[in-house]
Amino acid sequence: MLYLLVGGAHAVSGSPHLALSGPAMTTRFSRRDALNVSALGLGGLALNGLTGAFANAGQNSLAPQTPHHEPKARRVIFLFMHGGPSQVDTFDHKPLLDRDDGKDLPFEKAARIDATPKLLKSPWKFARHGECGQWVSELLPHTARHVDDLCIIRSMHSRGQSHGQAVSMLHTGSDNLVRPSVGAWVSYGLGTDNPDLPSFVSISPASGHGGPRNYGCAFLPAIHQATTVGHSGTLGDAKIEYLGNSRLSSDEQQRQIKLLQAMNQDHLKRLRKDERIEGAIQSVDLAYRMQNAAPDVLDIAREPKHVQDAYGVGKGETDNFGRQCLLARRLAEAGVRYIEVSTGNKWDQHGNLKSGHQKNALLTDQPIAALLADLKARGMLEDTLVVWGGEFGRTPIAQGTNGRDHNPQGFTTWLAGGGVKPGMAYGNTDEYGYYAVENRVHMHDLHSTMLHLLGIDHKKLTYKYAGRDFRLTDIYGEVVHDILA
Amino acid sequence: MSREFLQPERDMILMPTLLRRFVLSAFCCTLIFLPDAAELRADGEKIEPEKLKFFEAKIRPVLIEHCYECHSAKSKEIKGSLLVDSAAGLLQGGDSGPAIIVGKPDESPLIEALRYDGVEMPPAGRLPANVVKDFERWVEMGAPDPRTDSPAPGVIKPQRTIDLDAGRQFWAFRPIVDHERPEVSDKSWPKSDIDAFVLQKLEAAGLKPVADADPRTLLRRVYFDLIGLPPSPEEVAEFLKSYQNDSQDALRKVVDRLLESPQFGVHWGRHWLDVARYADSNGADFNATFHNAWKYRDYVIDSFNRDKPFDRFVREQIAGDLLPHENDEQLSEGIVATGFLMLGTKMLSERDKEKLTMDVVDEQLNTIGQAFMAVTLGCARCHDHKFDPIPTKDYYALAGILKSTRTLQGESQQYVSTWPRRQLPAEEEHLAAVEKFELTKKELQASIKDVKSQATTLGKKIELLRKNTNSLLVDDSEAKLTGSWTKSTYSKPFVGVGYIHDGKSEKGEKWAEFTVRIPRTAKYDVQLAYSGTSGRADNVPISIKHAEAEVEISLDQEKKAPIDGMFASLGHFPFDADQPAVITVSTRGTVGYVIVDAVRLIELDEKGDPVVDEVSEDDEILKATKAELKAATEQQKQLEADLKKLDENAPPPLPAAIAVAEADKIGDCEINIRGEHRNLGPKAPRGFLQVAYSGPAPTFAENQSGRLELADWIASPEHPLTARVFVNRIWHHLIGQGIVASVDNFGRLGDQPTHPELLDRLAADFMQDGWSTKKMVRQIVLSRTYQLSSQHNEASWNVDPQSRLLWKSHRRGIPAESIRDSILSVSGQLDLSPDGSPVEGLGTLVTQNVANEKQIERKETLHRSVYLPIIRSQLPPMLAVFDFADPDLVVGRRPVTNVPAQALLLLNSPFVMEQAELAADRVRSSVAKMKNDNNSADVRAIIEQTYELVLSRQPASSEVERAEEFLKAATRSDDAAADKSKSGPKVMSALGQLIHTLFASAEFRMLE
């Protein structure tokens, strides 16, 4: 389905006023000024180029916005391990879990889960890696080689014992209510670096567990919702619907668009003033430019063979996720602000932990390592924040004989690049890896830290809707200063 | 809940360094500074030295380290209004009431928070278990606390109390006043009272209304505003003719005709569906299909077509099931109407069902608040509304009504809630047919199950027979029974059609004797069949009379039978031919059940291995068994065919609706402090918004949720908001901007009314006219204000650029549905009849929550867009791109965006191109008919006809010229393309391309 809502010219909306609040923002034109300016017949786009200021008057604009403070990261690539990878089998090494395998958990398990209280040791061995000496299990050998670039948060916790709530919490900061997604907030706060492309792209998002709500804009202007490529963890032909014509040749379409714009111009002349028609004229221009620009960016065949190989493109297991990661890098390079790459709901091993996690690692580990290496080689890791994680982790206690249940009580997420301290681990779970106990980082804290790295104060990025100001972090969230470089 | 997995010494190691230092230094401090004498408690009582020591060593340092940052007089921001830096602060407490109940740790919110039970404090991490224990002990010992500093005045902000009397002075809460028509200078301009109100404001601002709209523009506007479709060229021609005679009369006739058209309900019903956040699926975490939601959709469309009084419409949607009814049809309608309360999106898989319940109540309150009263109730869930006079108490007074209403019922799978499906009244005949059908089906299914299990048993028997024809099998049915035995088929597998057990009674007085004819003298393995499990007798005495003696052995039937799960060997014994073996199973001395299924003897060779003979298919028993199996299989086939036939001729399912019911538990709801469902304050007696209600405290019928009373209050003519809000919605749709622009928020943060007297007057008229939507629409459309042109005027624009005072008409886009419907109408494909269920054939879930989930196939339909499936998270692209109302939210005013995706869809959608081509065919044939000449249809006529059909107007000569040029150029490439690609994608005709371009033009989707 198409959710390509890109680059709108300027506000024609009667929606609530007030864009970004806070002293750091540029001077804003009043509504009257905005209308006057558009009356000159100059579209928002043209004006953006001239002053860069007009765009702030319109929330429907993707024009670059001035951040609240100097940003460390210009963009985000979020690698979503949907289903919830197990922390105690990847980054959270727990010798006591090994020792006490099969014994009862010596404290209470979380409410409303199916796992028995029997501890289940990890089938994978852990070793220290890199100069920093952080622990990584043998499940992720490729990622382990980049551990010196990672900032591993081992004390994540979140809300939602079921996927739906936890996935929503991760993506929107709410486990129950309809709220804009992180990417939409970032787009709203910062706009895009490339007017020919969307500011927020979600690669192969799941249709379940909230589906579009996880990359939607809720009450934010529609332009900030993600454009999607592929779905449910599968990239497919990486085409965006309606971005090409099946019946008209490009000559025919060009002639048609010329006629269309002449009609629109006539219409505008007849009415003398109409911002909506000006907007329509610009959006036809923009649409046509995108139709020409986007296919190039989406075409990973343009990458040299050795780069494709590094990502595992063309190789059975890694081909799909490799192409997704490579596409993410191409989009990042082209100026897309927020990119999410989804595995699809794969990591949910209530049973078959060993074979399931093994397979998922095989699908994703090499492409992710290649993405880190590639960003680094291009000097992009410095200002690209890469985030890896699931909606929750898994219990150190067993479900069935070879499975683990959901665990929002404690899990691991890692960050890389974009202004975080590399080669460190932050926070701790208890001895068995169940509950986050030390330097706990709530999902709200992760969100506020991500925004902080992008130059946004999460308390000042607000939107007025239904009688009050909304924030991504609601009334919560503390920036985790200890992990900032 | 306690988790004592940390050893004390390890606690110290795991504790953050700072804390450790504090604990240690506190120890030192107490050693040095602890006064000899007992210190005074804050309340003046003396604290015993040991207790004081305990406080200083174990409690104070932790409070300083972990709590003072947010809960002391020096905090930058005091969280939860709670201070813990003084004894009084703890006792007095914050938003959640006292932090400690002296002597009762389990009732102290402070302890609960430290235990991370509901509230989690400190937020940075749970304190070690022994620290929490210390706090419990401290509270238990009376919470000795020497800290006397009372909070400095002004540290705790005085609780803002809502002044309801002042709140009632806000314009929206004042009673509605029926204002007189105002005096204006230009007496000739107004055609109606509305116009006088509008002109008065214009004159006061020194503005003049622009000219009236030309008849074509006016007609197009009226058509789209009333039925969401363009007029046909014939309708345009007829209107132009009558307009010349009497413009107002011509308009009146059109309006009256359109108000009577069923398409009026389609268009205006959809406006309400936006507000009702209508959808055909749940969305959110489990996108469950709302199979019956379309009945609510049809109810809404029908209500607008029948011009149901709006107050009745309100009552039905809140309490339709509780309203008195005269017949089944009315009852059905009432039940279906309450779908309004059901249609919100819900996190169905939330495992904490109390939380889910309160979230659902919140969603309903938000919707009721915004839809009927344009108040943002949701803001009062956690604290008193910050801007509007709505205390939290009012929120929970209303919440009590909805909590007493059943919106959730049962689970569709573990942890995943589902909702009530209420059966609707049905014809006696229908009920009887369904009952008979279900009974027959049940019987058939039982028979199939029986015959299937019979066939399985026979199959097994055949297998056994073939495996060893020398086995001699005697089923329990052939045994000689003494005493009463019970037949059973409960534990599987078994030999034959079942087994018997002794019912654990009359022990020793029951036995079963098996006599087995021995064909050959040999040694035999004697086996007993039984289903072994716990609860059986573990010492069943069995006697075996063989060639040499009679022996008795004991069998443990608690153990599963080792051979095929059916047989246990009792031993190898010699038997003589023609001297039958007698095996007797007794119940003597047993306690548990004794099970007897069958006895089997297997002939053994000299080595003690079973003798296997050639399998003889002629064996009589085998033959007979095979015949039995064949018969059983045939019977099964027959029964299954019967079932299929029965299903095919099934009566239609009994009608059901997605609707609320009364909850099992009716009562008031506790205030959830800070919105936390586990942090409960006092109960809020059920009631309404005090600011919009006057009179004695409302009373509620016993054993009813209170929805009926709620509905009566909202639909009351005394209610200051209901009528105002709805006439404002009508005004918004017809004029393009509400008198209150923020149609869903009449609160302090909403917009102020531009014409408050007019709003009141309309609301008063509306109620006097029996809450009739059609009369209100008619009144507004026939005003001169509605008929204004949208022409620009520089002077007026300088004063009022947005035409808030209505010196000109608002240009506006047509809604997404109208874009699609117009395209279909132009191409002649639109089906104006109503459609049924848009989700027929979808399962419990629209989308599975799995990787690689396929996207649903969308049902293609040519019906009006209101009948398209509104699947949350998979909206029809054509609607979603053109600012369709997000069904997750209440949307009284759709957003207006102008984005490239809209252009891309119109330019590249195969559907749009296909319709353009069909429209081209239509134009060509109509022009051909006109000219009565099939070959040389004049290009000019074609272009004129095209503009008439697509834009309801004639093209200017410059437009004709340009279109002609385009057609010429496109035709050339048309031929070239046709030559090149005979098998390629379908090319478009030149005229098709022209119409396609018009579909994509701004004018096509704009009302001037």
- Whether the predicted pLDDT of B39 surpasses 60: no
- Whether the Cβ atoms of residue A171 and residue A214 lie closer than 8 Å to each other: yes
User: Model confidence at A460, in pLDDT bands (50, 70, 90)?
Assistant: very high
A75-238+299-483: CATH topology is Alkaline Phosphatase, subunit A (3.40.720)
- Chain B hits for A209, Cβ within 8 Å: 285, 849
pTM: 0.78
B849:A345 CB<8 A: yes
Q: Tell me the C-alpha distance between B615 and B595, whole Å.
A: 31
- Tell me the per-residue pLDDT of A339-372, one tens digit each, with 9 for 90 and over: 999 999 999 999 999 999 999 999 999 999 999 9
Q: Tell me the C-alpha distance between B974 and B970, whole Å.
A: 6
- Whether the predicted pLDDT of B956 surpasses 50: yes
CA B450 to chain centroid: 40
Q: Tell me the C-alpha distance between B104 and B139, whole Å.
A: 6
- Chain B hits for A273, Cβ within 8 Å: 792, 797
A12:B897 CB<8 A: yes
Amino acid, single-letter form, for residue B625: T
Amino acid, single-letter form, for residue B280: D
DSSP-derived secondary structure letter, B598: E
Three-state SS string over B859-885 comes to CCCCECHHHCCCCCCCCCHHHHHCCCC
pLDDT at B160: 64
A8:B959 CB<8 A: no
pLDDT at B363: 96
B852:A233 CB<8 A: yes
pLDDT at B35: 37
Q: What angle do CA B68, B71, B75 make, to 5 degrees?
A: 75
User: Model confidence at B982, in pLDDT bands (50, 70, 90)?
Assistant: very low
Q: What is the largest CA-CA distance in chain B?
A: 132
- Chain B hits for A175, Cβ within 8 Å: 347, 350
Counting beta carbons within 10 angstroms of the beta carbon of residue B409, is it exposed (0 to 12), middle (13 to 18) or buried (19 or more)? Answer: middle
- Whether the predicted pLDDT of A80 surpasses 80: yes
DSSP B122-189: STT-PPPHHHHHHHHHHHHTT------PPPPTTTSPPPP---HHHHTTSGGGSPP--PPPPP-S-TTS
- Reading the block at residue B489, the tokens are 């088929």
- Whether the predicted pLDDT of B3 surpasses 70: no
A6:B899 CB<8 A: yes
pLDDT at B80: 78
- Whether the predicted pLDDT of B117 surpasses 80: no
What are residue B475's phi and psi, to 5 degrees? Answer: -80, 165
- Reading the block at residue B338, the tokens are 């309450």
Percent of chain B with pLDDT over 70: 91
pLDDT at B357: 96
Residue B352, CA distances (Å) to A399, B355, B602 in order: 20, 5, 60
pLDDT at A241: 83
- Tell me the per-residue pLDDT of B718-737, one tens digit each, with 9 for 90 and over: 999 999 999 999 999 999 99
Q: Tell me the C-alpha distance between A479 and A458, whole Å.
A: 9
A276:B811 CB<8 A: yes
Cα dihedral A332, A338, A344, A346 in deg (nearest 10): 90
Q: Tell me the C-alpha distance between B820 and B822, whole Å.
A: 5
Q: What is the largest CA-CA distance in chain A?
A: 82
* Chain A interface test: which of B117, B285, B737, B958 (most A C-beta within 10 Å): B285
User: Model confidence at B985, in pLDDT bands (50, 70, 90)?
Assistant: low
- Whether the predicted pLDDT of B16 surpasses 60: no
**Closest residue by Cα to residue B492 from B558, B542, B560:** B560
Q: What is the mean pLDDT of residues B234-250?
A: 96
User: Model confidence at B12, in pLDDT bands (50, 70, 90)?
Assistant: very low
- Whether the predicted pLDDT of A264 surpasses 70: yes
Q: Tell me the C-alpha distance between A383 and A74, whole Å.
A: 5
Interface size A-B, in CB pairs within 8 Å, comes to 317
- Tell me the per-residue pLDDT of B131-158, one tens digit each, with 9 for 90 and over: 889 999 999 888 888 887 655 545 555 5
Q: Tell me the C-alpha distance between A418 and A425, whole Å.
A: 16
Q: What residue segments make up the domains of chain A, in order of their start?
A: 31-68+241-292, 75-238+299-483
Q: Tell me the C-alpha distance between B67 and B127, whole Å.
A: 12
pLDDT at B43: 53
**Closest residue by Cα to residue B597 from B691, B710, B460:** B460
Bigger pLDDT: B1003 vs B66? B1003
- Which residues lie across from B864 on neighbouring strands? none
Cα dihedral A389, A390, A392, A397 in deg (nearest 10): -90
A155:B125 CB<8 A: yes
- Reading the block at residue B831, the tokens are 């089906």
* Chain A interface test: which of B1001, B1005, B1007 (most A C-beta within 10 Å): B1001
Q: What is the mean pLDDT of residues B164-184?
A: 94
HSE of A280, CA atoms in CB hemisphere, 13 A? 26
- Whether the predicted pLDDT of B89 surpasses 90: no
Q: What is the mean pLDDT of residues B820-849?
A: 91
Q: Tell me the C-alpha distance between B90 and B674, whole Å.
A: 18
- Whether the predicted pLDDT of B570 surpasses 90: yes
pLDDT at B614: 64
Residues in chain B: 1008
Query: What burial letters (b/e) apply to B449-473, b meaning 16+ CB within 10 Å?
Result: ebbbbbbebbeebbebbeebbbbbb
Bigger pLDDT: B120 vs B584? B584
- Whether the predicted pLDDT of A22 surpasses 50: no
pLDDT at B104: 86
* Host H or E run for residue B915: helix B910-931
User: Which of A46-60, A382-396, B610-624 is predicted with the least confidence, judged by mean pLDDT?
Assistant: A46-60
* Chain A interface test: which of B360, B853, B856 (most A C-beta within 10 Å): B853
B470-612: CATH topology is Jelly Rolls (2.60.120)
A283:B899 CB<8 A: yes
pLDDT at A16: 30
Q: Tell me the C-alpha distance between A442 and A448, whole Å.
A: 10
DSSP B362-417: HHHHHHHIIIII---GGGGTTSS-SSSS--HHHHHHHHHHHHTEE---SEEETTEE
User: Which of A19-28, A185-194, B161-170, B890-899 is predicted with the least confidence, judged by mean pLDDT?
Assistant: A19-28
Neighbouring residues of A161: CB distance < 8 A, sequence distance ≥ 6: A110, A111, A112, A113, A406, A408, B351, B352
